[in-house]
Chains A and B, each alone.
Chain A
Amino acid sequence: MIWNVYHVALKEILHLVRDRRTLAFLILMPPILTVIFGYAIGSPKVSAIATRVLDLDGGRVGEAYVEAIRDSVAFRPDVREGARESDVAEAEAALQRDEISAFVVLPRGLTRSLDAGESGTVRAVVDASDTFTAPSILRELGAVTVQQNLFLAADNLRRAGRAASVEDGLAQAAPIELAAELRFNPELRSQNFVMPGVIGLVLQLLTVIVMSTSIARERERGTMEQLLVTPLTPPQIFIGKILPYFLLALVVTASVLLLAWLLFAIALSGHVTVVAALVVAFVLGSLGVGQLISVVSRNQGQAIQLAVFFILPAFVLSGAFTPIETQPPNVRPIAYLFPLTYFCRGFRAALLRQASLADVRTDLLVMGAFVLITFGASVLVLRARRDAV
């Protein structure tokens, strides 16, 4: 039994060593993707949105509003002081040409009407085709408007002699103060949230792809039949095939975690046991999924298609980059079909909440179940092939 597994594993290692290019790819791809994704997905905040500001007012209120927009990192404003009505049509055209994402119109006579005790309207025209940017623009402009209203109210209080200064007026106009305390990730470092997802995604990519082609390749070459006429049993074939890739995945994990530490300051000190347990369960679970894909595929082409069909939804739905809570409730259950979901959840808990082995036991158990189910199913499928119609 042990010898049989050893010989299959040795053969797989020889395949890997002979195919230098693939081996180099398997070892280099994860760190490279970790760096790319780590920087690319690290900061999901929208900034420097091209926005045109048309100040038709030219008064005190308009100027203050323009200043507030200039101060916000969300905008890259193109301010037109002394703008006229004809500039509004030009701004519409610029929005159409996608040169700007929004424009703000401060109407003529805004300062005058407010000084007269009337209300005024600031127009904001926003390109809503980008559903990610548009809400950010509205949120930022809303904040600017609230802030300007407060300043005006405070200034009015001062002029009316009911406040000693603008600061005093502000305190009267906005008596409620929000005292927020940030826990677990006080600096709001997005890397702390994103890196577990990146590492999980990269490991999943490596294990599922590499494993899904393994049995399919034997079938394509006709060597599967040769294996099946030997005394090798299906479990021996599977374990022997998984073993080298399991070890490879551990080496790759170490390199990726090292990069995460060096580049993104993700330190594992204090969580090593928990993360190690999660990695082992996740890698085995993903290899199991790849194995099952391989067994049901007739050739490597089919196997790769199936692997992509599994990897892409996992990428989007597992909560690796966007929280599962952002998905519609009827889609959420799909997330629980991917080992990646449990890995990310457990890894984040360990990294950010100092979770212990007991805290992540559900994630470990579910991933363990993935290993057993995929392994058992692979054996059954292979046995059933003997009766194939």
Chain B
Amino acid sequence: MQAENRASATWAGPTTQAAPIVVTEHLFRRFGSLVAVDDLSLRVERGQIFGFLGPNGAGKTTTIKMLCGLLRPSEGRAHVAGFAVESQQASIKRATGYMAQQFSLYPDLTVEENFEFFAGVYGIHGRAAARRMDALFEPIDLDGLREVQAGQLSGGMKQRLALACALVHEPALVFLDEPTAGLDPSQRQRLWNFLYDLCDRGTSLFLTTHYLDEAERCHSVGFMLRGRLIAQGPPPVLRSKLRGRMAGAQVQRPVEAMRILRELPGIDDVTIHGHDLRILFSEAGDGPAQAARLERTAAAAGAPLEHVYPLEPTLEDLFISYARGGVAPP
């Protein structure tokens, strides 16, 4: 990880390279009686891709807006790139880039004009701006579209332009609010390659996503639910929380079987995947014995299982169970 932090040219705080890029301590944000962010204590390491996960309305965007300086925290402290959110806004703005969830560039300006405007307000003019444009446009295939009005671009191209504009000043940290929303699988793949490339050159990334397969690709993730951070860590560590608690089963009538199994003691959750069920046990057990016990109780309850097999848990399993309350937050 030390090796990834070789981009000394980027804006970085007056702290050592090892210091985390984002730290929040007991951060709150209230809107009237609604607590959008509830006692958030988060730590994101430098040089990583951090995935910020959670259902809609969980407080992800509110958190990003507080970290970017668009919203003032109601309570608590936060440091971004080594600068305090409360008092060092100007430094944070230079050290971070922000790509909003909604396309927020000027549709009536061309690709080039949009980029030059954002370059200009970061103090990059003339030849320096042109060099920066060349460097950013080439890897994301925007070179041929410089004269096109941004409003005419497809969703994927808009997203890439927005990303280029957020990176114009070589920030140490980029916030990306759902960068892959609305992209097709190949566009998503290309964007991820670019993000890894960016990370490899020393930029830290803080992104939100709904896609849990994308979450698996992050170095570290945090999961928000109703304003609270309920899990945080690298995906393998988080997945291991469910180790020994998952089993798959083939079944004839999955909908009926799911309904029956959900009522059985010792089973927290059941989901349907085609002809198969994914079953989450309340406690971890040893594979074969647990499987035999499941087959017996299921048959007795009127839902015979054809084939029970062990399953590796995914982040999706974990977060769906968090979201449903099937697993108590730690």
Q: Please name the residue on chain B nearest to A230 by beta carbon.
A: B121
CA gap between A228 and B117 in the complex, in Å: 14
CA gap between A387 and B86 in the complex, in Å: 12
Is the CB of A174 closer than 8 A to any CB of chain B?
Answer: no
**Complex contacts, B96 vs chain A, CB 8 Å:** 229
Is the CB of B299 closer than 8 A to any CB of chain A?
Answer: no
Q: Is the CB of B70 within 8 A of A229?
A: yes
Known: A11-B109, A15-B106. A389 touches B121 (CB 8 A): no
Q: Is the CB of A222 within 8 A of B104?
A: yes
The stretch from A2-10, A83-91, A103-111, A248-256 touching chain B is A2-10
Known: A15-B108, A225-B70, A389-B32. A3 touches B125 (CB 8 A): yes
CA gap between A7 and B114 in the complex, in Å: 11
Is the CB of B170 closer than 8 A to any CB of chain A?
Answer: no
Which of B31, B105, B108, B120 is A226 in contact with, Cβ under 8 Å? B105
Within 8 A of A (CB), among B18-65: 31-32, 65
Q: Is the CB of A222 within 8 A of B117?
A: no
Q: Is the CB of B104 within 8 A of A225?
A: yes
**Complex contacts, A19 vs chain B, CB 8 Å:** 108
Q: How large is the interface on A (under 10, 10 to 19, 20 to 34, 35 or more residues)?
A: 20 to 34
Q: Is the CB of B109 within 8 A of A14?
A: yes
Least CB distance, A373 to chain B, in whole angstroms: 25
Q: Please name the residue on chain B nearest to A11 by beta carbon.
A: B117
**Complex contacts, A226 vs chain B, CB 8 Å:** 98, 100, 104-105, 118, 165
**Complex contacts, B123 vs chain A, CB 8 Å:** 3, 231
Interface string of A1-38 (1 = CB under 8 A from B): 00110111011001100110000000000000000000
Q: Is the CB of A4 within 8 A of B121?
A: yes
CA gap between A229 and B90 in the complex, in Å: 9
Least CB distance, A15 to chain B, in whole angstroms: 6
Is the CB of A232 closer than 8 A to any CB of chain B?
Answer: yes
CA gap between A226 and B96 in the complex, in Å: 12
Known: A229-B93, A386-B70, A389-B31. A7 touches B104 (CB 8 A): no
Is the CB of A221 closer than 8 A to any CB of chain B?
Answer: yes
Is the CB of B309 closer than 8 A to any CB of chain A?
Answer: no
Q: Please name the residue on chain A nearest to B106 by beta carbon.
A: A223
CA gap between A18 and B108 in the complex, in Å: 7
Q: Is the CB of A7 within 8 A of B120?
A: yes
Q: Please name the residue on chain B nearest to A232 by beta carbon.
A: B121
Q: Please name the residue on chain B nearest to A226 by beta carbon.
A: B104
CA gap between A223 and B102 in the complex, in Å: 9
Q: Is the CB of B70 within 8 A of A230?
A: no
Q: Is the CB of A8 within 8 A of B98?
A: no
Q: Is the CB of B104 within 8 A of A221?
A: yes
Q: Please name the residue on chain B nearest to A240 by beta carbon.
A: B121
Interface string of B103-133 (1 = CB under 8 A from A): 1111111000100011011110100000000
Least CB distance, A8 to chain B, in whole angstroms: 7
Q: Is the CB of B94 within 8 A of A231?
A: yes
Q: Is the CB of B118 within 8 A of A230?
A: yes
**Complex contacts, A6 vs chain B, CB 8 Å:** 120
Q: Is the CB of B122 within 8 A of A230?
A: yes
Q: Please name the residue on chain A nearest to B165 by beta carbon.
A: A226
Q: Is the CB of B98 within 8 A of A7?
A: no
**Complex contacts, A222 vs chain B, CB 8 Å:** 100, 102-104
Q: Is the CB of B100 within 8 A of A10?
A: no
Least CB distance, B246 to chain A, in whole angstroms: 41
Q: Please name the residue on chain A nearest to B30 by beta carbon.
A: A389
**Complex contacts, A3 vs chain B, CB 8 Å:** 120, 123, 125
Interface string of A203-240 (1 = CB under 8 A from B): 00000000000000000011101111111100000000
Which of B69, B72, B113, B120 is A229 in contact with, Cβ under 8 Å? B69
**Complex contacts, B94 vs chain A, CB 8 Å:** 231
Within 8 A of A (CB), among B139-173: 149, 165
Is the CB of B221 closer than 8 A to any CB of chain A?
Answer: no
CA gap between A232 and B90 in the complex, in Å: 9
CA gap between A222 and B103 in the complex, in Å: 7
**Complex contacts, A232 vs chain B, CB 8 Å:** 121
Is the CB of B71 closer than 8 A to any CB of chain A?
Answer: yes
CA gap between A7 and B32 in the complex, in Å: 37
Known: A225-B70, A225-B100. A231 touches B121 (CB 8 A): yes
Q: Is the CB of A14 within 8 A of B32?
A: no
Which of A7, A14, A229, A231 is B108 in contact with, Cβ under 8 Å? A14
CA gap between A4 and B125 in the complex, in Å: 11
Least CB distance, A90 to chain B, in whole angstroms: 66
Q: Is the CB of A10 within 8 A of B117?
A: yes
Is the CB of B270 closer than 8 A to any CB of chain A?
Answer: no
Q: Is the CB of A223 within 8 A of B105?
A: yes
Is the CB of B68 closer than 8 A to any CB of chain A?
Answer: yes
CA gap between A19 and B106 in the complex, in Å: 13
**Complex contacts, B72 vs chain A, CB 8 Å:** 386-387
Q: Please name the residue on chain B nearest to A6 by beta carbon.
A: B120
**Complex contacts, B100 vs chain A, CB 8 Å:** 222, 225-226
Q: Please name the residue on chain B nearest to A222 by beta carbon.
A: B104
CA gap between A8 and B32 in the complex, in Å: 34
Q: Please name the residue on chain A nearest to B68 by beta carbon.
A: A229
**Complex contacts, A228 vs chain B, CB 8 Å:** 69-70
**Complex contacts, B71 vs chain A, CB 8 Å:** 386-388
**Complex contacts, A221 vs chain B, CB 8 Å:** 104, 106-107
**Complex contacts, B149 vs chain A, CB 8 Å:** 18
Q: Is the CB of B121 within 8 A of A7?
A: yes
**Complex contacts, B103 vs chain A, CB 8 Å:** 222
Q: Is the CB of B69 within 8 A of A18?
A: no
Q: Please name the residue on chain B nearest to A19 by beta carbon.
A: B108
**Complex contacts, A4 vs chain B, CB 8 Å:** 120-121
Could you list some 14 contacts between A and B, CB below 8 A? A3-B120, A3-B125, A7-B120, A8-B121, A11-B113, A11-B117, A15-B108, A15-B109, A225-B100, A226-B105, A230-B93, A232-B121, A389-B31, A389-B32
* 9 more CB-based (< 8 A) A-B contacts, given A228-B70, A387-B72: A3-B123, A7-B121, A225-B65, A225-B70, A225-B104, A226-B98, A229-B68, A231-B123, A389-B31
Residues of B within 8 A of A (CB): 31-32, 65, 68-72, 90, 93-94, 96-98, 100, 102-109, 113, 117-118, 120-123, 125, 149, 165
CB-CB nearest 4 A-B residue pairs = A7-B120, A222-B104, A18-B108, A229-B98
